[in-house]
């Protein structure tokens, strides 16, 4: 494992920091604290941070083509205008009440792909959907905790995880159907690696994955081999995204939830937001077309 010069850019602490999202339109960073039901935005220069209280926990966000955000929130989908503070339900009742919206991301075609987690994290009651221009299509699969997803540069492959299995999966993906092949194992984590959480793809087609309880992020080559593993100062990194003017800054969210006082003493930055400067660029996020 390699050490890396991460910089803490927000103290927090978030209980469950998630879904970092670089807005290339306004040069700002968004992220969530799921368990505190808050949305955050930090300016490109890092000098100002704003937050918005949400009506329910949101698991993930994506850019909308009208300038706002789409959010997997509560048991469904909502639109968020952070400047006005208006949260508008779009499809509020998709998931079972035993589940909560979790990770999601825009695919390369302008659709929002998102999934849920079982609240007790014990049963495969979670599902995943694709929101495509006013239609919501459920995808195959059952999950305890759906995490990811990420998409290859051309959009023809999807990567995702059912985190308790410690497996990152991959499948073929297309604009019309979404997942269109049987998922196969892309990477199997060991107990010492922790659990696969949020992920993103860089411009070279490599997958970056945050490892919950693993104190690390790992970069996988397209064939699933590990290219590098970077040690972090937090036990529970939760997700990653590329941002900055050249998309060569990796932003990393983390969690402090359910850590014991002893674990916190060894992990004082738990729940903070970090950045890491790299020589590899990411890919600009696609905006979601949410209209019919």
Taking only the tens place, the pLDDT of each residue in 49-108 is 999 999 999 999 999 998 899 999 999 999 999 999 999 999 888 988 999 999 999 999
The pLDDT of residue 66? 84
The pLDDT of residue 92? 82
Contacts of 119 (CB under 8 A, 6+ apart): 98, 99, 100
Element containing residue 261 per DSSP (H, E): helix 261-265
The pLDDT of residue 292? 58
Q: Are 29 and 82 in contact (CB under 8 A)?
A: no
Q: Which of 33, 107, 197, 202 is catalytic?
A: 197
User: What strand order describes the sheet that includes 237-243?
Assistant: 7-10, 273-277, 249-254, 237-243
- Report how far residue 199's alpha carbon sits from residue 201's, in angstroms, rounded to the nearest whole number: 7
The pLDDT of residue 133? 84
The two tokens of residue 287 are 């905006």
Write down the architecture of domain 2-277 according to CATH.
6 Propeller (2.120)
Residue 197 a catalytic site member: yes
Q: Which residues of 12-33 are buried (b: 16+ CB within 10 A; e: fewer)?
A: bbbbbbbbbbbbeeeebbbbbb
Q: What is the pTM for the complete model shown?
A: 0.96
Q: Which residues of 168-202 are buried (b: 16+ CB within 10 A; e: fewer)?
A: bbbbbbeeeebbeeebeebbebeeebbbbbbbbbb
Tens digit of pLDDT at every position of the chain (292 positions):
777 889 999 999 999 999 999 999 899 999 999 999 999 999 988 889 999 999 999 999 999 998 899 999 999 999 999 999 999 999 888 988 999 999 999 999 999 999 999 999 999 999 999 998 889 999 999 999 999 999 999 999 999 999 999 999 999 999 989 999 999 999 999 999 999 999 999 999 999 999 999 999 999 999 999 999 999 999 999 999 999 989 999 999 999 999 999 999 999 999 999 999 999 999 999 999 877 5
Element containing residue 226 per DSSP (H, E): strand 226-231
The pLDDT of residue 32? 98
The pLDDT of residue 2? 79
The secondary structure of residue 146, as a DSSP letter, is E
């Amino acid at each position: 494992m390699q050490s890396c010069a991460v910089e803490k850019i927000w103290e927090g602490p978030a209980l469950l920091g998630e879904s970092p999202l670089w807005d290339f339109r306004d040069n700002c960073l968004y992220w969530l604290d799921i368990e505190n039901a808050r949305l955050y935005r930090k300016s490109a220069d890092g000098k100002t941070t704003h937050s918005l209280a949400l009506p329910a926990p949101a698991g993930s966000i994506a850019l909308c083509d009208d300038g706002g955000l789409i959010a997997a929130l509560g048991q469904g989908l909502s639109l968020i205008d952070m400047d006005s503070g208006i949260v508008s339900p779009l499809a509020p009742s998709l998931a079972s009440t035993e589940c909560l919206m979790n990770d999601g991301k825009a695919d390369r075609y302008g659709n929002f792909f998102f999934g849920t987690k079982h609240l007790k994290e014990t049963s495969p009651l979670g599902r995943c959907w694709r929101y495509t221009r006013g239609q919501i299509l459920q995808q195959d699969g059952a999950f305890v905790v759906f995490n990811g997803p990420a998409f290859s540069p051309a959009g023809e492959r999807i990567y995702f995880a059912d985190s308790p299995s410690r497996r990152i999966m991959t499948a073929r993906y297309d604009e019309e159907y979404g997942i269109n092949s049987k998922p196969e194992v892309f990477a199997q984590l060991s107990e010492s690696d922790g659990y696969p959480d949020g992920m993103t793809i860089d411009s070279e087609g490599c997958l970056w994955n945050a490892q919950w309880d693993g104190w690390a992020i790992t970069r996988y080559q397209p064939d699933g081999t590990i290219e590098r593993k970077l040690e972090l100062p937090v036990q529970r990194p939760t997700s990653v995204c590329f941002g900055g003017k050249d998309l060569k800054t990796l932003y990393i969210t983390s969690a402090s939830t359910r850590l014991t006082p002893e674990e916190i003493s060894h992990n004082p930055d738990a729940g903070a937001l970090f950045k890491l400067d790299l020589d590899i660029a990411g890919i600009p996020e696609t905006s979601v077309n949410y209209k019919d």
